[in-house]
Protein backbone atom coordinates (compact mmCIF):
# COMPACT_ATOMS: atom_id res chain seq x y z
CA UNK A 1 0.00 0.00 0.00
CA UNK A 2 1.31 3.44 -0.93
CA UNK A 3 0.63 6.45 1.24
CA UNK A 4 1.29 9.79 -0.41
CA UNK A 5 3.24 12.53 1.34
CA UNK A 6 1.02 14.88 3.30
CA UNK A 7 -1.84 12.42 3.75
CA UNK A 8 -0.82 11.23 7.22
CA UNK A 9 -1.22 13.16 10.46
CA UNK A 10 1.39 15.63 11.67
CA UNK A 11 1.42 16.97 15.19
CA UNK A 12 3.47 19.50 17.12
CA UNK A 13 4.51 18.78 20.69
CA UNK A 14 5.68 21.54 22.99
CA UNK A 15 8.45 20.62 25.45
CA UNK A 16 8.29 16.94 24.46
CA UNK A 17 9.22 14.77 27.45
CA UNK A 18 10.38 17.95 29.20
CA UNK A 19 12.71 19.04 26.40
CA UNK A 20 13.05 22.51 24.94
CA UNK A 21 10.97 24.01 22.14
CA UNK A 22 8.61 22.24 19.78
CA UNK A 23 9.02 18.90 17.99
CA UNK A 24 7.06 18.14 14.81
CA UNK A 25 5.96 14.51 14.51
CA UNK A 26 5.07 13.40 10.97
CA UNK A 27 3.57 9.93 11.21
CA UNK A 28 4.85 7.58 8.50
CA UNK A 29 2.10 4.98 8.69
CA UNK A 30 -1.65 5.03 9.19
CA UNK A 31 -2.66 2.08 11.36
CA UNK A 32 0.51 0.63 12.85
CA UNK A 33 1.10 -3.11 12.67
CA UNK A 34 0.86 -4.98 15.95
CA UNK A 35 4.06 -4.51 17.93
CA UNK A 36 4.87 -1.00 16.70
CA UNK A 37 4.07 1.98 18.91
CA UNK A 38 5.55 4.69 16.66
CA UNK A 39 6.90 5.06 13.15
CA UNK A 40 7.44 8.74 12.37
CA UNK A 41 9.75 11.46 11.14
CA UNK A 42 10.69 13.80 14.00
CA UNK A 43 11.80 17.33 13.16
CA UNK A 44 13.55 19.34 15.87
CA UNK A 45 14.14 23.02 15.00
CA UNK A 46 17.35 24.67 16.20
CA UNK A 47 17.42 24.71 20.00
CA UNK A 48 14.69 22.07 20.37
CA UNK A 49 15.04 18.78 22.17
CA UNK A 50 13.27 15.75 23.58
CA UNK A 51 13.84 15.38 27.33
CA UNK A 52 15.35 12.31 28.96
CA UNK A 53 12.94 9.38 29.20
CA UNK A 54 13.19 5.58 29.58
CA UNK A 55 12.13 2.82 27.20
CA UNK A 56 10.80 -0.06 29.30
CA UNK A 57 9.48 -3.12 27.46
CA UNK A 58 10.17 -1.41 24.14
CA UNK A 59 13.08 -0.31 21.95
CA UNK A 60 13.34 2.96 20.06
CA UNK A 61 15.39 3.14 16.87
CA UNK A 62 16.60 6.43 15.39
CA UNK A 63 18.04 7.04 11.94
CA UNK A 64 19.31 10.57 11.27
CA UNK A 65 18.08 12.04 7.98
CA UNK A 66 19.28 15.66 8.17
CA UNK A 67 20.91 18.24 10.41
CA UNK A 68 23.07 17.78 13.46
CA UNK A 69 22.22 16.87 17.00
CA UNK A 70 23.16 14.83 20.03
CA UNK A 71 21.78 11.86 21.92
CA UNK A 72 22.17 11.40 25.67
CA UNK A 73 22.88 7.82 26.75
CA UNK A 74 24.28 6.75 30.13
CA UNK A 75 24.96 10.39 31.03
CA UNK A 76 27.05 11.05 27.90
CA UNK A 77 26.04 13.28 24.97
CA UNK A 78 27.15 11.82 21.60
CA UNK A 79 27.03 13.83 18.34
CA UNK A 80 24.75 12.58 15.55
CA UNK A 81 24.76 13.46 11.85
CA UNK A 82 23.00 12.17 8.72
CA UNK A 83 23.36 8.42 8.29
CA UNK A 84 23.97 7.76 12.01
CA UNK A 85 21.66 5.40 13.89
CA UNK A 86 20.92 4.80 17.57
CA UNK A 87 18.93 2.26 19.58
CA UNK A 88 17.64 2.54 23.15
CA UNK A 89 15.73 -0.14 25.04
CA UNK A 90 15.91 -2.52 27.97
CA UNK A 91 14.74 0.14 30.41
CA UNK A 92 17.56 2.55 29.52
CA UNK A 93 16.92 6.26 29.04
CA UNK A 94 17.87 8.72 26.37
CA UNK A 95 17.32 12.33 25.28
CA UNK A 96 17.78 14.06 21.93
CA UNK A 97 18.59 17.66 20.98
CA UNK A 98 19.34 19.78 17.95
CA UNK A 99 22.82 21.33 18.17
CA UNK A 100 22.88 22.94 14.75
CA UNK A 101 21.37 25.93 12.99
CA UNK A 102 19.12 23.87 10.68
CA UNK A 103 16.32 21.39 11.46
CA UNK A 104 17.50 18.08 12.95
CA UNK A 105 15.42 15.32 11.33
CA UNK A 106 15.31 11.69 12.46
CA UNK A 107 13.20 8.68 11.59
CA UNK A 108 11.97 7.11 14.83
CA UNK A 109 10.46 3.66 15.30
CA UNK A 110 9.35 2.22 18.63
CA UNK A 111 9.03 -1.57 18.73
CA UNK A 112 7.44 -3.38 21.66
CA UNK A 113 10.01 -5.82 23.09
CA UNK A 114 7.60 -8.77 22.94
CA UNK A 115 7.92 -8.53 19.15
CA UNK A 116 11.71 -8.43 19.28
CA UNK A 117 11.74 -11.62 21.38
CA UNK A 118 9.40 -13.39 18.95
CA UNK A 119 11.81 -12.97 16.02
Q: CA of 29: how far to CAs of 43, 46, 57, 74, in Å?
A: 16, 26, 22, 31
The pLDDT value given to residue 30: 77
Q: Does pLDDT of 116 surpass 70? A: no
Residues 6+ apart with CB under 8 A from 99: 68, 69, 70, 79
pLDDT digits (tens, 9 = 90+) for 63-114: 999 999 999 999 999 999 999 999 999 999 999 999 999 999 999 999 998 7
Q: For all residues of the chain together, what is the average pLDDT?
A: 93
| Residue 66 C-alpha from the chain's centroid | 13
State the Cα–Cα distance between residues 107 and 43, nearest whole angstrom.
9
Torsion sign across C-alpha atoms 21, 87, 8, 30: negative
Q: Does pLDDT of 119 surpass 80? A: no
Q: Does pLDDT of 26 surpass 60? A: yes
The pLDDT value given to residue 8: 87
For the residues 14-25, what does the mean pLDDT come to? 97
The pLDDT value given to residue 118: 52
**Complete domains list, the chain, with CATH:** 10-118 (2.60.120.10)
Amino acid sequence: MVTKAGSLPTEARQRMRGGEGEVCISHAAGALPQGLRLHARLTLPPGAGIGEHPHVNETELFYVLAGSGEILEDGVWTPLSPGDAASTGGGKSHALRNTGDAPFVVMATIILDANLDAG
